[in-house]
Amino acid sequence: MDTSAIIRGAGLRVTVQRIAVLQALALAPHSSADRIHNAVAGADIALPTVHAILGDLATAGIVRRVSLPDADRALFEVEPDDNHHHMQCVRCGRLEVVACAVGASPCLHPSEDHGMRLLEASVTYRAICAACDEVHDSA
């Protein structure tokens, strides 16, 4: 992934910090700002700077913010144009990508659009993963 070209192509100034954050996120999808901050610890980037960079990248359409029910923080991924949903284990928090329910954006259509043009539909399937289910069954 040519991170410099991606950042420049979105109209943002290319910085060492933005490159480090974007590369770390590409290696660890569905990461929080804290996790990215830990991943770029050697680059001497402060946590508030990581938050600001993720906000800039999300606004520019380079990354997507993923908000999950009952989550205390947002997660980020580098696939803003890949229309997909997520499945989350309610016990351990494991998160997996699920292909679009229909295959074409926005996947779901509301019964009323209230005069708005629909851009996306976000679905989070809440589940229990097999590992957590085994632990629960054996207890």
Looking at residue 98, which CATH number applies to its domain?
Answer: 3.30.1490.190
Whether 100 has a binding-site annotation, put simply, is: no
- What whole-number distance in Å separates Cα of residue 100 and Cα of residue 84? 5
Q: Do 96 and 57 have their domain in common?
A: no
- Provide the residue range defining the domain that includes 48: 3-66
Task: State how far Cα 50 lies from the chain centre.
Answer: 14
Please indicate whether residue 65 or residue 103 has the higher confidence score (pLDDT): 65
- Indicate if the pLDDT at residue 60 is higher than 90: yes
Q: Is 129 annotated as a binding residue?
A: yes
pTM of the model: 0.76
Whether 43 and 89 share a structural domain = no
Predicted confidence at residue 114, as pLDDT, reads: 84
Q: Work out the pLDDT band at 102, boundaries 50, 70, 90.
A: low
Kindly state whether residue 71 falls inside one of the protein's structural domains: no
Consult the annotation and say whether 92 binds a ligand: yes
89 is in an annotated binding site: yes
Residues 55 and 8 in one domain: yes
With respect to residue 106, please indicate whether it lies within any of the assigned structural domains: yes
Q: What is the pLDDT of residue 107?
A: 63
Q: Which amino acid is at 115?
A: G
Angle between helices 47-59 and 16-27 (to 10 degrees): 80
60 and 87 co-located in one domain: no
